[in-house]
Structure 1
Amino acid sequence: MLSALILLPLLGAALIGFWPANLSGTPARRVALVFASIAFLWTIFLTTQFNPGDINQQFAESVPWIDVLGLNYNLGIDGLSLPLLVLNGLLTCIAIYTSEQALQRPKFYYSLILLLSAGVTGAFLAQDLLLFFLFYELELIPLYLLIAIWGGARRGYAATKFLIYTAVSGILILASFLGMVWLSGGSNFALASLNCATLPLATQTLLLAGILVGFGIKIPLVPFHTWLPDAHVEASTPISVLLAGVLLKLGTYGLLRFGMNLLPDAWSYLAPWLAIWAVVSVLYGSSCAIAQTDMKKMVAYSSIGHMGYILLAVAAATPLSVLGAVMQMVSHGLISALLFLLVGVVYEKAGSRNLEVLQGLLNPERGLPVIGSLMVMGVMASAGLPGMLGFISEFIIFRGSFAVFPLQTLLSMLGTGLTAVYFLILMNRAFFGRLSAQVTHLPRVYWSDRIPAMILAVLIIIFGVQPTWLVRWTEPTITAMVNIQNVVATVSLDKAKSKS
C-alpha cells in the first residue's frame, strides 16, 4: 500500500519521459496531473484507514535489500509523517495544475516534478536511515534541474548554490547516520533496531551536531539560509510552491525523527542553544523580509522566520510544543504555497513584483480584486490572526514552549509582530492606493488562476476554525515520542549523576 505512493509518480515520470511520440505541454500536463491525483487520492484513502490511536508504524512494509550494507526496504506511516504525505500530494497536484501550458521541454519538466514528488514521499515513508538518505538525495537533482532550466535570469547561479548547500547537507547527514549505526553496534540501518541512547553524551552531541547542521541547511536556519531567497526568486511559481510548501519540511521532519527521537541526551543538553538559534532565525528572517522590495523575496525571507518557530518548539520538547511544530509544518506549507501562487499571478498579469512599481492592485475595475482579497487573507493567516491555521499553530508552539524557555519564547513572539509589519508594507504598497500608471492594462484573471489559491485559502480557514481535525491524527504519536525522549534523557542524567 505504501510502495504505491512512490511507484505511482515514478510510473508517471517514466511514461511521460519515454513517450514515443512528441508530447506537447497540455497532454503532458494532463497525464502528470492524473498520476499525481491518483497518488494524492491514495494518501486520502490511507488516511481513512489510519488508526490515530496506534503510535506504531502502520501499513508497514519490510523487504531485505542489500544485506552487505545493512540496507532494507522499510516503509511505514505514523502521526508525524501522515499530514506531511497528504500535504505533499496536494501541493504536487497544485504545482502541476498551475504550470504554464506553453512550457519548453514539457516531457522533461513534468517527469522531474513527479520524480521530485516520489523522492519526498519516500523520505517521509522511510523507516531505515540509509533508505531515507537515498530518497533525500533523490529529490536533489530534479529540483536543481527545475530551477536551472525553467528558472529566471540568474537561474544557473541560484541552482548551483542550492546544489552545493544541499550536497553539504547530505554529506553531514550521511556521516551522522553512519556514526549512529557503527558506534551503537547496530547491524543494519533500520530505525526500529537503533539504540543510540546508550552512547556517551559527547558522542551523541557530535552526531547531533551533524544532524543539526545538515537539516538546518535544508530548513533553512540562519546562517545556512542564503540559498533559499535566490532559489525562490529564480524558480518558477509551481517550483516555489513545492520548495516552500514541502521540501523545507524534510529538514524539520529530520530534526524530529532523527535528532530529538534518536539522540535524547544530546538533544536535552543542546536544547537551550537550539532555542537561542531559533530566536536568531525568527528575528533575522523577519527583519530581512521588511527590507525587501521584491514580493517573492519578501515571502521567501518570511519562510526563514516561520521555520524558526518549529526549531523553538522541538527544542522545548514538550508534547504541546512538538504538536504545534507539526501543525506549523502543515500551516506554513499551505500559507506559503498560497502566497507564492498569488505573487506568481501578480507577476504574470502585472509584469512586475517590485513594490516600488506596483500600486492599487485592489482596484475593483482595472486591478486584481479577487487576487488582492486572497492576498489579504494569506498575509493575515501568516501574521497569525485568530480563525486561521497560522494562529492556532503558533499559539500552541508558544504555549508549549513558554514553560521551558520563557525568554526565548517571548523574543520569538516578536516575530509575529514583525510579520504583520512587512506584510502590511507589501499590502499597502502593492494593493492599496491608486492603480500605478505602469500597470494600468492588466490581463484578465481566469478562474483557472484562482481555483488553486481558493482551495488553499479554504483549507487554511477550515483547519483554523476546527484544528482538531488536524490534531487528532498527530497528537498520540507526538505525545508518545516526546514522553519516551524525556524518560530516556532523565534516566541517562540520573545514571551520570550516580556515577559522579
Structure 2
Amino acid sequence: MLSALIWVPIITAAIMAFWPGNITPKVTRQLTLIVASGVFILSLILASQFHTESASQQFVEIIPWIDVLGLSYHLGVDGLSLPLLVLNALLTCIAIVSTDEAIQRPRFYYALLLVLNACVAGAFLAQDLLLFFVFYEIELIPLYLLIAIWGGKKRGYAATKFLIYTAISGILILAAFFGLFFLSDASTFAYESLRHHTLPLATQFLLLGAILVGFAIKIPLVPFHTWLPDAHVEASTPISVLLAGVLLKLGTYGLLRFGLGLFPEAWQILAPSLATWAVVSVLYGSLNAIAQTDMKKMVAYSSVGHMGYILLAIAAATPLSLLASVIQMTSHGLISGLLFLLVGVVYKKTGTRDIEVLRGLLNPERGLPVVGSLMVLGVMASAGLPGMVGFISEFLVFRGSYPVFPIQTLLSLVGTGLTSVYFLLLVNRVFFGRLSEVVENLPQVQWKERAPAIALAMLIVMLGLQPNWIVRWTETTTTTMTLTNQQLTANTQTVLD
C-alpha cells in the first residue's frame, strides 16, 4: 500500500510525459486528478486502518536494494508521518483543481506535479536514511522546473536561488548521514539501527550541526530564509500552495525525525539555543510581514514566523510539545494553502497584489465578497482564534514548551500578536472601505475557483472544533519517542562515563 502512494503517481507521470500520441489538455488534467484523488483516498484508508495505540512503524515494506552500501527499500508510517502523508495527498489534489485549465505544456506540468507528490510521500515514508535522501533530493527537480517554467517574470532567478540553497541543504544532510554511518560502524542505513548508536558528544554536535543547518535551510529559518519569499512571489498559485503547505514540512519533519530522533543527548544540550533561534525566526518573520505591500510576500514571511513555532516545540521535546509540532505542521499546511489560494484568486481577478492599490473587495455587488469572507476566516485561523485549527496547534505548542522554556515561549507569544497586526492590515486595506476605482468591474469568480478554498476552510474549522481527529494519530508516537529518547540519553551517558 505504501509503495502505491509512490509508484502509481510516478508511473502515471511517465506515461503522460512520454506517450507517443496526442493527449488533450482536458484528458491530461482529468487523468492527473483521478490519480491524485486515488492517492488521497488510499492515504485515508491507511489512516482508517492505522493502529493509534501503537508507536511502531506500520504497513512496513522492506526489500534489499544495494547490499554493498547497506541500502534497502524500507518504508513505514507512524504518527509523525501519517498526518503529513494525508496532507500531501490532499494539497496535491487542491493544486491540480486550482491550476489554470489553459496552462501551457500541460502534459509536462501535470507529470511534474505527480512526481513531486510521489517524492514527498517517499521522503515521509522512508525508514532508511539514504532512501530518505534520495527522495529529498529528487523532489528538487520537479519543483525547480515548476517555478522556472511556469513562474513569474523573475522565475529564473527565484528558481536558481531555490535550487542552490536546497542543494547545499542536501549536501549537509548527506554528509551527516554518512558520518553517522561510518563513525558508528553500522552495517546498514536503517533508521532504527542507527538510532541506537553511541558516539562521543563532540562527534554528535558536529553531525547534529550539519543536520540542523541542512534542514533549517529547507524550513526555512532565519538567516537561511531569503530564498522563500522570492520563490513564493514568482511561483504560480498551485505551486505556492504545495511549497508552503507540504514541502517546507520536509525540513521540520527532518529535524524531528533525524535531529532529535538520532541525537537526543546532543539535542538536549543545544535545546536552549534552538528555542532562542525559534524566537528569532518568529519575530523576524512577523516583523518583515508587517513591512510588506505585496500580499503574497506577506503570507510568505508569515510562514517563516509560523515555522519557528515548530522549532520551539521540537526544542522543548516534551510529549505535549512534540505532539504540538506535528499538529502545527498540519495546521500551517492547511492555513497557508488557503491563504495562497485566495491571494491567487485576488491577483487573477484584479491584476495586482499591492495592498496600497486594492481596497473594498468585500463589496457585495462589484467586489469579491466570498473570497473576502474566506480571507477573513483564513487570517483569523492564522492568528490563532479559538474554534479553528490554528488555535489548538499554537496553544499546544505554547503549553508544551512553557515548562521547559518559559521566556522563549512568552516571546514567541508576541509573534501571535504580530500575526494579528499584519493580517489585520491586509484585510482592512484590501477588503474594507470603498471599492478602488483601479479594480472596478471585476470578473466574476467561478464556483470551481472557490471550491478548493472552501474545502480547506471547512477542514480548518472542523479540525479546530474536533482536533482529536489528528491528535489520536500522533499522541502515542510522540509520547513513546520522548520516553525512548530519555532512555537513549541515559544509556549513552552511562557508556561515555
TM-score normalised by structure 2 residue count: 0.99
Q: CA RMSD in A?
A: 0.9
Instruction: Supply the AA of the counterpart residue of 1:80.
Output: L
- Return the alpha-carbon distance in structure 1 between the equivalents of residues 414 and 489 of structure 2: 31
1:426 and 2:409 are equivalent in the alignment: no
- Return the alpha-carbon distance in structure 1 between the equivalents of residues 62 and 366 of structure 2: 59
Contact 1:197 1:265 in 2 (8 A): no
Contact 1:360 1:433 in 2 (8 A): yes
Deviations 1:311-344 (A, max 9, x none): 0000000000110110000000000000000000
TM-score normalised by structure 1 residue count: 0.98
Q: Which moved more, 1:11-20 or 1:243-252?
A: 11-20
Deviations 1:323-374 (A, max 9, x none): 0110000000000000000000000011110001100000000000000000
Tell me the equivalent position of 1:56: 56
1:97 and 2:97 are equivalent in the alignment: yes
Contact 1:197 1:264 in 2 (8 A): no
Contact 1:120 1:139 in 2 (8 A): yes
Contact 1:16 1:32 in 2 (8 A): no
* Residues 70 and 349 of structure 1, relative CA distance in 2, 3 Å threshold: same
- Return the alpha-carbon distance in structure 2 between the equivalents of residues 237 and 195 of structure 1: 39
The 3-state SS of whatever aligns with 2:55 is coil
Q: Which runs of 5+ in 1 are unaligned?
A: none
Deviations 1:227-281 (A, max 9, x none): 0000000000000000000000000000011010110111001000000000000
Contact 2:334 2:460 in 1 (8 A): yes
- Return the alpha-carbon distance in structure 2 between the equivalents of residues 442 and 307 of structure 1: 35
Percent identical among aligned pairs is 69
Instruction: Supply the AA of the counterpart residue of 1:442.
Output: L
Tell me the equivalent position of 2:376: 376
Deviations 1:45-100 (A, max 9, x none): 11111101111110100000011111100000001100000000000011011111
The 3-state SS of whatever aligns with 1:231 is helix
Instruction: Supply the AA of the counterpart residue of 1:306.
Output: H
The 3-state SS of whatever aligns with 1:59 is strand
1:155 and 2:152 are equivalent in the alignment: no
- Return the alpha-carbon distance in structure 1 between the equivalents of residues 455 and 247 of structure 2: 20
Q: Quote how far apart the aligned CAs of 1:494 are.
A: 5.8
- Return the alpha-carbon distance in structure 1 between the equivalents of residues 25 and 94 of structure 2: 16
Superposition map of 1:68-79 within 5 A: 68-79=68-79
Contact 2:359 2:436 in 1 (8 A): yes
Tell me the equivalent position of 1:283: 283
The 3-state SS of whatever aligns with 1:385 is coil
Tell me the equivalent position of 1:88: 88
Superposition map of 1:110-125 within 5 A: 110-125=110-125
Instruction: Supply the AA of the counterpart residue of 2:163.
Output: L
Contact 1:148 1:156 in 2 (8 A): yes
- Return the alpha-carbon distance in structure 2 between the equivalents of residues 195 and 473 of structure 1: 22
- Return the alpha-carbon distance in structure 1 between the equivalents of residues 347 and 15 of structure 2: 33
Tell me the equivalent position of 1:256: 256
1:311 and 2:311 are equivalent in the alignment: yes
Superposition map of 1:178-217 within 5 A: 178-195=178-195, 197-217=197-217
Q: Quote how far apart the aligned CAs of 1:484 are.
A: 1.0
Q: Quote how far apart the aligned CAs of 1:436 are.
A: 0.3
The 3-state SS of whatever aligns with 2:20 is coil
Contact 1:184 1:196 in 2 (8 A): no
Q: Quote how far apart the aligned CAs of 1:25 are.
A: 2.5
Superposition map of 1:212-291 within 5 A: 212-291=212-291
Contact 1:180 1:196 in 2 (8 A): no
- Return the alpha-carbon distance in structure 1 between the equivalents of residues 128 and 493 of structure 2: 28
Tell me the equivalent position of 1:349: 349
- Return the alpha-carbon distance in structure 2 between the equivalents of residues 479 and 425 of structure 1: 40
1:42 and 2:51 are equivalent in the alignment: no
Instruction: Supply the AA of the counterpart residue of 1:418.
Output: L
Q: Quote how far apart the aligned CAs of 1:487 are.
A: 2.7
* Residues 56 and 196 of structure 1, relative CA distance in 2, 3 Å threshold: closer
Tell me the equivalent position of 2:448: 448
Task: Work out the number of aligned pairs and report it.
Answer: 497
- Return the alpha-carbon distance in structure 2 between the equivalents of residues 26 and 301 of structure 1: 35
